[in-house]
């Protein structure tokens, strides 16, 4: 007897309802999509406050480096523009002389024509690309009077000089155009970095901003402790040096030691006098805003402030941190004195003016103001070098 089986559709029973295979596949796809949607936020998690702080600091650092590049390019642009203006003025003056020489040659030709004398082919001369070649080929000089020869010599000299200066002016204009384009690129680079930093900070909640402020406060407290340690170390070293000097004076006698130390004392005194003037200027700028590319008097960037401070002391510093670091004498951090320049980061993109006790006056970053702060504000590792500029 043949067995009889009851037909049943393939599928899966869900909640007592039999579903066809196609519906099962659809439900599976929906479930997978749901899982993917739920997993999406974790694929790009929100950065922590510490990560935001680091990113913002990095962007400000990059903006400072871009600012110094902008400053250097702007200085270069100013120098090139000055050269172009000078060359153009020179070309204008030489062109005027050339026209005078040409007019004089023309008057000679006209006079000879009126008298019926044999006149040089002045028209051909004036139109010649190279008047000297023209004279060499025609031997025209043999037929000129002494006065005419002087006029011809003047014309040839002025034409050659004017042609050369015009070529120099043209080349300088091309160079200036290239530099101005680089200046525009540098400016845009700074603006992009600052916009990115502002964008990150704008997305923080009030609670996150409070946590960020707390982190900054801890960093500042650590920096202040480090500054106090440096001040104590320097005080101890100075006391030890004074005791050693007193001991040497007692042993060797006042007369023998006074001559050997007078030169050093005079140098120290001279530097201290200049440093005091630079520091007085810098203190008067505290509270003024940081503005990238600014050199005062209403606002400053970091190198603009140090340049202006030492200028008040009669010392001319270059515009950028990259050039300022090469002026003067590099000294160890342990020997740092008020007035010294403290440079930061491997790319030497920031500078401050040391005031003593581990503190400096500097223009920190966009959105901040000129202030007195520990030289360890970003940790000792970012200190690049110390330079005594005078």
Give the H or E element holding residue 388.
Answer: strand 383-388
Catalytic positions, written as ranges: 302, 350, 362
Structure tokens at 356: 């003593």
Nearest-angstrom CA–CA distance, 371 and 350? 14
Residue in 65, 59, 73 with CA at minimum distance from that of residue 367: 59
Give the side-chain half-sphere CA count within 13 A for 174.
5
CA 373 to chain centre: 22
Nearest-angstrom CA–CA distance, 308 and 10? 88
Nearest-angstrom CA–CA distance, 306 and 184? 25
Nearest-angstrom CA–CA distance, 366 and 360? 18
DSSP string, 145-181: -HHHHHHHHHHHHHHHHHHHHHHHHHHHHHHHHHHHH
CB 310 within 8 A of CB 279: no
Residue in 330, 352, 326 with CA at minimum distance from that of residue 341: 352
Interaxial angle between packed helices 206-252 and 49-115, expressed in degrees from 0 to 180 and rounded to the nearest 10: 80
Cβ within 8 Å of residue 113, ≥6 positions away: 119
Nearest-angstrom CA–CA distance, 274 and 284? 16
């Amino acid at each position: 007897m043949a067995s009889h089986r009851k037909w049943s559709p393939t599928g899966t029973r869900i909640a007592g309802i039999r579903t066809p295979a196609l519906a099962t596949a659809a439900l599976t796809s929906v479930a997978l999509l749901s899982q993917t949607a739920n997993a999406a936020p974790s694929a790009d998690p929100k950065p922590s406050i510490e990560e935001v702080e680091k990113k913002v600091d990095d962007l400000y650092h990059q903006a400072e480096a871009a600012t110094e590049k902008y400053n250097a390019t702007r200085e270069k642009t100013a120098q090139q523009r000055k050269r172009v203006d000078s060359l153009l003025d020179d070309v204008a003056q030489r062109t005027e002389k050339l026209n005078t020489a040409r007019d004089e040659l023309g008057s000679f030709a006209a006079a000879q024509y009126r008298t019926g004398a044999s006149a040089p082919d002045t028209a051909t001369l004036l139109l010649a690309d190279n008047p000297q070649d023209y004279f060499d080929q025609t031997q025209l000089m043999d037929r000129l009077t002494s006065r005419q020869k002087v006029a011809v010599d003047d014309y040839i000299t002025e034409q050659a000089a004017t042609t050369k200066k015009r070529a120099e002016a043209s080349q300088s204009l091309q160079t200036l155009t290239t530099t101005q384009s680089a200046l525009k690129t540098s400016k845009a680079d700074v603006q992009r970095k600052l916009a990115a930093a502002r964008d990150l900070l704008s997305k923080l909640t009030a609670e996150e901003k409070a946590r960020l402020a707390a982190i900054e406060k801890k960093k500042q407290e650590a920096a202040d402790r480090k500054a106090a340690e440096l001040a104590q170390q320097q005080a101890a070293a100075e006391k030890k040096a004074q005791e050693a000097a007193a001991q040497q004076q007692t042993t060797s006698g006042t007369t023998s030691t006074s001559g050997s130390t007078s030169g050093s004392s005079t140098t120290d005194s001279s530097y201290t006098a200049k440093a005091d003037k630079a520091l007085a200027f810098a203190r008067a700028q505290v509270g003024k805003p940081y503005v990238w590319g600014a050199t005062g008097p209403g606002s400053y960037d970091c190198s603009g402030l140090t340049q202006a401070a030492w200028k008040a002391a009669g010392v001319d510093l270059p515009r950028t941190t990259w050039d300022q670091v090469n002026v003067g004498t590099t000294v160890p951090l342990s020997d740092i004195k008020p007035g010294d320049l403290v440079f930061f980061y491997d790319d030497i993109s920031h500078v401050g003016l040391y005031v003593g006790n581990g503190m400096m006056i500097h223009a920190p970053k966009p959105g901040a103001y000129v202030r007195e702060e520990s030289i360890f504000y970003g940790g000792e590792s970012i200190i690049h070098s110390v330079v005594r500029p005078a």
